Chains A and B, each alone.
Chain A
């Protein structure tokens, strides 16, 4: 017997779990995490000549437990800076800015990062849950289209 499901991801989590996914996405896309977020933000406040684009993860909710209001992660790659933070409505927000970058380029960077963040978050969550149900990983591959394929198995009485 078998069934095939297609699911849309929903990100509901606390900030630490989201920062793990942010780190994974940053690593995959070649971004560097800035340690001093506040300092980076002061230096990197979008000026008049600097464009800025915001993308919100539609189906997301960052749980406020243990989260300071100004908590955020700042990432850089060349002239592009990405800030991931929780917005006032509790959703996860990705803001891309950078000197000499067009709105279209920044929008593309923000969307690409958002998608990778979602993929990393779902991967971490699914693997954790599969292990809790005693599934063993038979095979795991990154496909040409950048999708991740996980094949797991378990024996039941």
Chain B
């Protein structure tokens, strides 16, 4: 399950700022298109730095414990 969030700010003059978060690639653009149709016409659109991040990140931490055996025994 993915969490999609939208922050909508309607200014006192009626202009609207929409911030779509959590939706990846095509889904993000679909939200943007849908909200543009609902509200009016686009004046500006920016993809935030988050947009350009890879969709998934993985990190593997490897730990190796070295055990030195005493050969004298």
- Residue numbers of A with Cβ under 8 A of B are 1-10, 59, 115-116, 118-119, 121-123, 125-126, 129-130, 133, 135, 138, 143, 145-157
Contact = CB atoms under 8 A, between A and B. Distances in A.
Given A9-B14, A115-B13, A152-B5, A2 B20 contact: yes
Given A10-B39, A122-B39, A4 B18 contact: yes
A3 B1 contact: no
A66 to B, nearest CB: 22
B40 A147 contact: no
A132 to B, nearest CB: 10
B13 A148 contact: no
22 contacts: A3-B28, A3-B46, A4-B48, A5-B36, A5-B44, A7-B35, A8-B16, A8-B40, A9-B15, A59-B41, A119-B12, A119-B14, A125-B39, A126-B38, A129-B34, A130-B6, A147-B9, A149-B7, A151-B5, A152-B5, A154-B3, A154-B4
Contacts of B27: 156
B32 A147 contact: no
Chain B interface size, as a band, is 35 or more
Nearest to B17: A6
A8 B4 contact: no
B32 A3 contact: yes
Contacts, number: 154
Contacts of A148: 9-10
Given A3-B28, A10-B41, A115-B14, 20 more contacts: A1-B25, A2-B21, A2-B51, A4-B19, A6-B18, A7-B15, A7-B17, A7-B35, A7-B42, A8-B16, A9-B39, A115-B12, A121-B14, A122-B39, A129-B38, A147-B9, A150-B8, A151-B5, A151-B6, A153-B4
Looking at A1, A121, A145, A151, which has the most chain B CB atoms within 10 Å of its CB? A1
Given A4-B17, A4-B19, A151 B7 contact: yes
